Structure 1
Amino acid sequence: MIVLVGRIGKMDWIAIFCCLLVCNLKSVVCSTGDEFKVDGKVLELDESNFDSAISSFDYILVDFYAPWCGHCKRLSAQLDEAAPILAGLRKPIVIAKLNADKFTSLARKHEIDGYPTLKLFMLGVPVDYYGPRKADLLVRYLKKFVAPDVSILSSDSSISDFVEAAGTYFPIYIGFGLNEMVISNLAIKYKKKAWFSIAKDFSEDAMVLYDFDKVPALVVLHPSYNQQSIFYGPFEDEFLGDFIKQNLLPLAVPMNHETLKLLKDDERKIVLTIMQDENEEKSLKLIKLLKAAASANHDLVFGYVGVKQWEEFADAFGANKKSNLPKLIVWNGDEEYFSVIGCESLDDEDQGSQMSRFLDGYREGRTEKKRIKGPSFMDFINSIIGIRAVYIIVFLVAMLMLIRSLSKDDEDHRGGSGEEVDDHAETESSEYGAGKKED
C-alpha cells in the first residue's frame, strides 16, 4: 500500500508512475515465467496467452482441437502420454492445445480448416505436422526437429544406432568419407525432411552392408520402403543438391494422403500408374519396373495407386474397377493431367517396353490434356471451413426454405375470405408459436 503524505508535486507523480510501471512489468514477467513451465504437462492455451506461449519456447507443438470431435479426444490421450518424454529432451518440445472451435480468430489466423490440426512452432515459425499421432511414434518423429543438423558417427555401431534411432518416417543420408561441410548447408535446408550424418570411421563390413565400393559416397536409405540409393559425386552443390532433393521420396511413391502432402513441395511432373490392387503379384512386378524407370528419369516422380486402396483418387482420373488397367498418365499435381495417345494402358506382355514408349510419347508431346474430376460441393465447402460450419450452413438454408414456405402458404391463404384468414392466423399462431420458441 502507498500512503501519500502532504502535497505531491509533478515530479513526484512521475516517480510514482514509473515505480508502479516497473512493478507491473515485474509482475507480468513473473506470472509468465510461472505460467509456462516445461513440466511435461500439456498446456491449455487461449487468446490471452497464445502468442506469449509461442514466443516462450523454441519448440512447441500445438493441437488445434474441437471439444465435440472424437478424433481430437483420442489424440488428446496420445499427447498426454508423449508430453513428459518430449519435455525431457536436451532441447525440450512442449505440447499445447487450443480450443479452435471457441477461439475462432486464432483458428482463422493459422488457417485451421479441420480438427484436429497439429502445428509445430519452431522459434515462432509454424510448420504443419503430418507425422504419426500415436505417442511413441510421435516422440520419435519430433526428435528429428531438435537433433543436430548433421550427426557425426565414429564407428559401425554408432552408424547402426543412428539408423535405428532415426526410425522410418524420414529418409536417412549417410556420408561415408565425406567432409561435414560438404553437406552442412543442404542438411540445414532439408532438416525438416530428412536425417543427415557423416561416418568418420567405418569398416569394410559397413561398406558391404550399405552396398558401396568406394569413398567418398553418400548413401540414402528409405527404411519404410526397404530402398536405398548411392551417390559417388560430383559433390558440387548443384549435383549434390539435385541428388538429395530427388531422393527425399522413394523411387516409386504409393499415393496416399501423407505422400500427397510431401509431393506438394516437389515441382516435378508425376508419372502415375493406376492399377486394380497394389498388393497383387502382377502389381508388385509393375512397381519394380516403375523403380527402374525412376532411376533413369530423375526429372519425373513415379507414383502408383490401386483402385482397391483409394478408389476416390483413382476415379478423379477416370479410372475405376471397370477400366482397362493398369492405366498410365502424367499429372501436374494440380488440376491437369496428360494421357499419351496410343499408350493409355498396359497389357501383360513386355510392360517394360510399353513403359518406355509411354515416356517417349510424353517427351515428344504426343499427349492429350485432360482435367481431373473436381471435388463435390460438400467436399469443397468442407475443405475450406470445416464440417461443423457445413452443418450450420445446411441448417440455416433449411430454416430459410421453411420460412419461405410458410410465407408462401400465408400468402395463398390470404387470397381466401377474411374469416378464413383470421381462423388460419389464429391456428398458425398457436401451432408455430411454441415451435419457434423451442427452436
Structure 2
Amino acid sequence: MLFDHGVPLPSEYTDSRKADSLIENLKKLVAPDVSVLESDSSIKSFVEAAGINFPLFIGFGVDESLIAEYGAKYKKKAWFSTAKDFSEDMMVLYDFDKFPALVSVNPKYNEQSVFYGPFEGTFLEDFIRQSLLPLTVPTNRETVKLLKDDGRKVVLTILEDELDENAPQLIKVLRSAANANHDLVFGFVGVKQWEEFTETFDVKGSQLPKIIVWDTKDEYEVVEGSERLEEGDYGSQVSRFLEGYRSGKTIKKNVGRGSPSLLGLNAIYILIFLVAILVALMYFSGQGEEEQQPRRTHQD
C-alpha cells in the first residue's frame, strides 16, 4: 500500500520493482490525474518531467472536465494535461492548426497524433485508448501485457530476426496499415528475439515472415493463401491479407503450449495454490490415519 502525505492511494502498486521504472511509476501515482499548464515553459517542464516511458496527452484549449475521467481511468498508463495558454510556437512544435486539440505524444517510439474531436461519446476515449500503444508494437514480455489489456485483436507479423535488413521496410508497411485499420493492433516479433513465444504459433518449419491475427488469448487466425509474406511488395501482400481477413477467408487455430495467456503469472499462482491445497489434504489425511491406528490396536 502506498501513501501520499499520510493518505492511502486508491490502488496498490503492482508494476516493475526496477529502480528507474519504480521511480517513474511512483511519480505518476502521486501526480494529479490531469495537470493544468498555463504557459509554454510549463508545457516544456511537464514533458521533460514525464520522461519517455509513458505516452503523454496535452489538451490545447481542451477543458479539463472533458478529460478528467480518462486521466483517472488511465492514470497508470499515461500522463494527462491541459494547456490553457500557449503560443503559436507550441502549435508548430506539436503540429496542430486549430484548437481545441488533444495531442498524443509517445516519446519512446517517436510518434505523435492529433485529435480535434468530437469530444463527446466514445470518440475521445477511443482515441486515447488507441494512442496508448505505438502504431506497430514490438512484441516482447513487457508489451504483450499492454496488447492483452487493449482488447483489440492483433495482426502479428513473425520475423526470423527483427534486426534483419528487410525488417524496417516491412514495419513501415505495417505502420501504414495500422493507420487505416484502427480496430486492429499491429505488432511484430522476431524468432531470435523471443523464440519461446513465437513457437506457440506453429512457426517451426514455416517460412518467415508469417502474418496472423491473434485474439491475445488462446486462438489465432491465418488467412488462406496469405499466411506468408514474400520478399518484395509487402504493401500489396498485407492489403490482400487484410481483405481476406475481413471477408472471413480464415482458418482458426489454437495457440500452442507456452503462450503468455496459458503460462502467465496468474496461472502459475493458481497452480502453486492448488499444489498447496493438495499437500495440505495429504497431510491431514495422514494425521487421520495415525489417530485411527491406536484405536484399532486397543480394540484388538
Q: TM-score, normalised by structure 2?
A: 0.83
Q: Which of residues 154, 174, 178 is equivalent to 2:62?
A: 178
Matched AA of 2:92: V
Instruction: Measure the CA separation in 2 of the matches of 1:316 and 1:284.
Output: 24
Does residue 373 in structure 1 map to residue 281 in structure 2? no
Unpaired stretches in structure 2, ≥5 consecutive residues: 283-300
| Gap change, CA 1:327 and 1:201, over 3 Å in 2 | same
Supply the AA of the counterpart residue of 1:122: L
Letter in 1 for 2:151: E
Residue 256 (1) aligns with residue 137 (2): no
Residue 353 (structure 1) aligned to one of 232, 236, 255: 236
Residues 135-284 of structure 1 correspond to what in structure 2 (within 5 A)? 135-284=19-168
Tell me if the contact between 1:275 and 1:304 (Cα under 8 Å) persists in the aligned partners: yes
Give the Cα–Cα distance (whole angstroms) in 1 for the partners of residues 165 and 44 of structure 2: 32
After TM superposition, the runs of 4+ consecutive aligned structure 1 residues lying more than 6 A away are none
CA-to-aligned-CA distance 1:91-132 (integer Å, 9 cap, x gap)? 3599xxxxxxxxxxxxxxxxxxxxxxxxxx833x44531x3x
Q: CA deviation at 1:281?
A: 3.0
Query: What secondary structure, in the 3-state scheme, does the structure 2 residue paired with 1:355 have?
Result: helix
Total equivalences in the alignment: 274
In 2, the alpha carbon distance for the partners of 1:185 and 1:358 equals 38
Q: Per-residue deviation at 1:141? A: 2.0
Shift of 1:237: 3.3
Does structure 1 retain, via aligned residues, the 8 Å contact 2:25–2:76? no
Give 1:323 shift: 2.7
Counterparts in 2 of 1:127 and 1:318: CA distance versus 1, 3 Å: same
Maintained 8 Å contact 1:177/1:217: yes
Aligned to 2:218: 335
Structure 1 residue identity aligned to 2:249: R
Match in the other structure for 2:286: none
Answer yes or no: is the 8 Å Cα contact 2:196–2:258 preserved in 1. Answer: no
Residues 273-298 of structure 1 deviation map (CA, whole Å, 9 limit, x = unaligned): 00111122311221121111111111
Aligned partner of 1:128 in structure 2 is 14
Which has the higher Rg, Structure 1 or Structure 2? 1
Q: Deviation of residue 348 (structure 1)?
A: 1.6
- 8 A Cα contact 2:197 2:258, kept in partner: no
Q: C-alpha root-mean-square deviation of aligned residues, in Å?
A: 2.6
SS of the counterpart of 1:196?
Answer: strand
Q: Distance in 2 between matches of 1:238 and 1:156?
A: 30
Check 1:371–1:296 CA distance in 2 against 1; reply closer, same or farther (3 A cut). same
* SS of corresponding position for 1:219: strand
Provide the residue aligned with 1:324 in structure 2: 207
Q: Residue 364 in 1 paired to residue 247 in 2?
A: yes
Structure 2 CA distance, aligned partners of 1:286 and 1:295?
A: 15
- Report the alpha carbon displacement of residue 364 of structure 1 after superposing the two structures with TM: 0.4
Aligned residue for 1:295?
Answer: 179
Question: Are the equivalent residues in 1 in contact too, given 2:138–2:189 (CA < 8 A)?
Answer: yes
Which residue identity lines up with residue 330 of structure 1 in the other structure? V
1:198 match: secondary structure: strand
Higher mean displacement: 330-339 or 164-173: 164-173
| 1:337–1:137 CA distance, 2 compared to 1 (3 A) | closer
SS in structure 2 at match of 1:237? coil
Q: Is the 8 A contact 1:141 1:169 kept in 2?
A: no
Unaligned runs of 5+ in 1: 1-53, 61-90, 95-120, 397-439
For 1:274 and 1:93, the matched residues in 2 are separated by 49
The superposition leaves residues 230-268 of structure 1 with CA deviations (integer Å, 9 ceiling, x where unpaired) of: 111111131111111111111111111111112222221
Distance 2:270 2:193 in 1: 26
Structure number with the bigger relative contact order (C-alpha 8 A, sep ≥ 6) is 2
What is the Cα deviation at residue 324 of structure 1? Answer: 1.1
For 2:148 and 2:50, locate their aligned partners in 1 and report how far apart those are by CA, in whole Å. Answer: 24
Q: Distance between the aligned counterparts of 1:171 and 1:144, measured in 2?
A: 12
| Alpha-carbon separation, structure 2, partners of 1:297 and 1:93 | 46
Quick one: structure 1 residues 383 and 260, their matched pair in 2 at CA, closer, same or farther if it must change by over 3 Å? farther
2 CA distance for matches of 1:139 and 1:93? 19
Higher relative helix content: 1
Give distance in 2, aligned partners of 1:325 and 1:355: 14
Aligned 1:6-25 pairs, distance under 5 A: none
